[in-house]
Structure 1
């Protein structure tokens, strides 16, 4: 009885002691735009407590003894800030903080255990130290990611990452402001991802993660994912003109629609447009044309709810020289920059609408809702085999489709504490539906005459996903993230070539668990272990043929890595990784056939280093090694064609040197097998690029040089069996698209203030 009475008395004393505790509720904004800053580290000095701001720039500290405190704020690209506050009993102290943009210095960058799960120090630094100058540079921000163009500029780039030849997006998930870019069951290839509708000057951040470890990312997240975030507001209205060799011209403009009045009301809106034209460096003028328009509005529906609306439209048309065989150049049939079929080319367009709303409720729930819609059109003429199948008319093909894509992303999350342990629980729902009309593969001649329709039909594909995710922060050093998602697919194909027209349907589903561990030894060293399962879906025409069997091939991966700062001015990210993929069936869009693909495994090492040599000079290096192989195949016959084995990019960047800035960069792709027995090799390349800028308050001048030393290199290469006109038999050898020669371009930007 006495022990019960003593426990009661102690509990009453404890309740009385905590009854008068206060709290702090704050919001961090950009000093220039007035818009909230996400991802700011906020430390309550002397208490061991720290938080990271959410999408509304908000943070909160509870259970504080009445006293004076200091808050320390840090964020990459902003000046560190210390703010003094006083907390009173039983009251919530409201804090407003404005942070100003400042030059990036590596000495101020800390490795935070509080945001270990989504910490992207490398991309955050690179986007500020290496400004994006063209649409291709957007993806090259991701360490280890290589791209190659094999249609002269209008077609989506071929992507390489972590021992994958990803083609145009089969094993990497790409999005812009959360809106999906990959096209399922595309006329040209599964996962086709065309980013050319993005105006590069509008890109603010590039978020990414390599490997299948993120719960809210589903389809195509095999080698990893990338999300581009476009600017919410423009620093200034601007007009930019560019001109260069090979008949290249580009004009870009951005207009701030609300100005200072909008900032006073925490609103922003802008309209931007881009027009590009280029004949390019090919013997046959490319006559490439591209037109982009984007508008964006951001505002607060209430103190705790913001709304972002984005609309854009894009159109492009081009000719291209296509891939040419080595023997055609050696024999003099065509030059290095020539073509075998000069009538290749295409056109495409995309119109997008994207609405995003984020709400933080009084009880601490964070609710995100997103609706998106895209109308997409695509038409491409290619000739890979020349006269192999049709010795009279040639083998040119047309791939064409019209598509409506719409969907929803939603989530709800909340952070709770049991003692000092934080639990961030998230649940989400996702829905996507693709409706295509007249998805086509046809045999054509001279881009004007249709000889034979080989595939022609309508696709209706639904992907619904649900996930739960738990992030447990045991301390400011150690955290665990665990999650699981369920994806359901319904595939329907209407074959318009059959008489009568037939319609078939199939369903399939897959469960993908994730487990990630993070340990921060100190502000200069963090260790992590990521593991998870993911997948890429297959073309609806495969799914229907196989009745849904083995059409969602799983991928299992693990990363063991570290982020550390051995010196104040050196930041290093290193990881050893392994990825295993199950057998699948692959739809070959260029042939209209289904081919089986066996089990594969890849493992390798990634190394990224960023070093501040002086106050104005930065060096960076990315080195990526991989060993990709097929499983269950005889040694020497188990190579994965075109899979990269050794790549590296790096360079020197000048920043904060008065009006001058710029960079000298290199990229290296090692030689790699072009077929299964390595008897045909795709040669490697090493090229350099130069960027130099002179910027004053009202204008900026820029010089951009691609392939500074005029290296002759092959940007994309394939081992292809083809037959030239007049040849007695087909030949299998390297077919390639030449890389750009020395190409200089000047730009002038005028800022409207």
Structure 2
């Protein structure tokens, strides 16, 4: 992915009015979304002067609406400039700008990414809530996995800002947000028209054009993208992707509106994870596959709108969306374990329409003469889905395991009160109530039914300071994730109806605690340290690959996060992040207490240089530590360390040329590792083995871009 941007950064931070008798709170630095944008540092278009001081901004929130303090050391906003300064392999990887977040892939490039955060293997999005322009990306009761979040339709160059939260402490965050949440906002306008073309190793080709023009009382923005990619695989991915965005907007983030249409389509082949013994025995090479017909196709079409207005009482925000989504996946993870004759390939199909929205109002006032804000909001979402699981061979259907029609609806009401008691004490007290209803109509009558559930969660925050440019944060909150509703109502195994199955709880609660500190006493340096704990209740998880439920155990995670951003000069910036987590099952079991695939250590470091025209560049190191693969910790994954680099030159004419080098050291590393039982041709029975998806070898991508 050639990260080239036009007008991607927000304006430099500007402090709010200083409260009487005290310093400006670190977390009350405001971002002006309406300021004239500038090009992203290190992008193919060259860095803009305003972008030099932009980047990671701790202590901010309120994208697309009211700007207000964030009440946690582990929350913040990243500008589009920071997002686009990173040389990355795939679109979703730009979210690794969020400290401690790993975004990887274990299949073809058209499939949703795999996420890791705070000691969680989040699979494709089980406990990280992702939104783009107010629309949810996570899909519930999804054919492949609960919370499936496909970000391949993201156009990084359009990103204006990314707001992130860690932990379940925030009233706007509900389903899937226990480990964290990410809210992405696109730009409303561009300073100039952008056109770029990229070519690279392994058949990488990408073209992008973006422009905005005045129209009536507002602006019209359009963007179109096309991409192909084969990858280093023996069976090429043959990824083909088309992507488009059109947006009409008026006004500002606080008083304005926008209407946005998006369209995305992709198809691909997939080389899934492979058993290490198959490579050791010479059956396939490191980039080979045991089923060359794996792959998929998907489409996503959406229409969304937002409106915001300010009056004497405060700020009102409203948004709504409707999304048409479909997906087909063909996967074969176990080869001949279940069917020694035809193989174990299966097809998962998902066809749905979903819609929903949010309305909120922030009341600004006083309590006993003290500054106070009260926010009240309502969120809704409804999914109408046909979801299926079929046994296949070479993508030809042999039998249907299950075929379900699901209607799932939810509504949430939240409220939060924020008061500044003194110059050094602020509190936030909130509550969120969620209600769910679902109706499943299955081809197996015993697996049809209705389900209802609800949950109420408190959210508490306390901020002390600033003292000597330092603030202390204390946070507590409840959260949850929903389970696939098919597992909630199911009574029998669809493959063997004579056997009963355990039902899943609909909503699974979590509880989080955090203490953190943020310091800016050294000019140009922001450092934050957070200690956290997150408990999850016992849960049963629906397994989309088999159509059944699998019991899980309660878990507890303790961890530490250390985040650093250092602007040494307007043209030189350093970054460094470290997350260390202890993830354990909370109960005792002879199998062991380690949580499989839970990362212990995640670290990253980076350097970005460039200002205005001339040379620009970036160097990024990402470390993904070893993980237990089974409960007793007797089998572990290897660590992965990848180094990516970029070097480019921006001419005064607006033309720029940049070169990205991915996996610069040609590390022989794995993107993902699992341990499970599979069966190869000729094996008498299943064999437990590590299954890996290797990282791509060194690749180069050259981008020619222009601003006109």
Contact 2:49-2:612 at 8 Å conserved across structures: no
1:515 aligns with 2:447: no
Among 530, 548, 562, the residue aligned to 1:593: 548
Contact 1:38-1:57 at 8 Å conserved across structures: no
Residue 411 (structure 2) aligns with: 464
Contact 1:77-1:128 at 8 Å conserved across structures: no
Task: Tell me the distance in 1 between the aligned counterparts of 2:591 and 2:639.
Answer: 20
Partner SS, residue 530 of structure 2: strand
Per-residue CA deviations over 1:354-376 (Å, capped at 9, x if unaligned) read 11000112x32321111111000
Task: Tell me the distance in 1 between the aligned counterparts of 2:286 and 2:222.
Answer: 41
Aligned-pair Cα RMSD in Å: 3.1
Contact 2:56-2:77 at 8 Å conserved across structures: no
Residue 597 (structure 2) aligns with: 642
Per-residue CA deviations over 1:558-610 (Å, capped at 9, x if unaligned) read 11001102411321111010011100111011111111111110001000112
Shift of 1:246: 0.8
Contact 2:276-2:689 at 8 Å conserved across structures: yes
Task: Tell me the distance in 1 between the aligned counterparts of 2:616 and 2:98.
Answer: 21
State the structure with bigger RCO (CA 8 A, min sep 6), 1 or 2. Answer: 2
Residue 356 (structure 2) aligns with: 407
Task: Tell me the distance in 1 between the aligned counterparts of 2:31 and 2:257.
Answer: 11
Residue 295 (structure 1) aligns with: 246
Contact 1:624-1:647 at 8 Å conserved across structures: yes
Task: Tell me the distance in 1 between the aligned counterparts of 2:73 and 2:596.
Answer: 33
Shift of 1:627: 0.5
Among 262, 285, 291, the residue aligned to 1:335: 285
Residue 365 (structure 2) aligns with: 416
Task: Tell me the distance in 2 between the aligned counterparts of 1:428 and 1:157.
Answer: 31
Residue 271 (structure 1) aligns with: 222
Distance 1:648 1:745, change over 3 A: same
Shift of 1:506: 1.2
Residue 117 (structure 1) aligns with: 71
1:128 aligns with 2:82: yes
Gaps of 5+ in 2: 1-5, 41-47, 61-66, 492-501
Gaps of 5+ in 1: 1-31, 59-72, 79-99
Residue 545 (structure 1) aligns with: 490
Partner SS, residue 518 of structure 2: strand
Per-residue CA deviations over 1:26-69 (Å, capped at 9, x if unaligned) read xxxxxx99x998985332698769796999979xxxxxxxxxxx
The number of residue pairs the alignment matches comes to 674
Q: How does 1:214-225 map to 2 (within 5 A)?
A: 214-225=170-181
Contact 2:169-2:460 at 8 Å conserved across structures: yes
Shift of 1:423: 1.3
1:161 aligns with 2:117: yes
Distance 1:38 1:409, change over 3 A: farther
Shift of 1:530: 1.0
Task: Tell me the distance in 2 between the aligned counterparts of 1:578 and 1:324.
Answer: 34
Task: Tell me the distance in 2 between the aligned counterparts of 1:490 and 1:323.
Answer: 36
Residue 672 (structure 2) aligns with: 716
Task: Tell me the distance in 1 between the aligned counterparts of 2:317 and 2:612.
Answer: 41
Among 332, 335, 339, the residue aligned to 1:386: 335
Task: Tell me the distance in 2 between the aligned counterparts of 1:393 and 1:119.
Answer: 53
Per-residue CA deviations over 1:444-466 (Å, capped at 9, x if unaligned) read 0001x211111111010001111
1:446 aligns with 2:394: yes
Structure with higher Rg: it is: 1
Task: Tell me the distance in 2 between the aligned counterparts of 1:486 and 1:121.
Answer: 22
Task: Tell me the distance in 2 between the aligned counterparts of 1:231 and 1:148.
Answer: 26
Contact 2:54-2:82 at 8 Å conserved across structures: no
Residue 325 (structure 2) aligns with: 376
Task: Tell me the distance in 2 between the aligned counterparts of 1:631 and 1:144.
Answer: 23
1:318 aligns with 2:268: yes
Task: Tell me the distance in 2 between the aligned counterparts of 1:109 and 1:161.
Answer: 20
1:606 aligns with 2:561: yes
Distance 1:347 1:569, change over 3 A: same
Shift of 1:410: 0.7
Partner SS, residue 279 of structure 2: helix
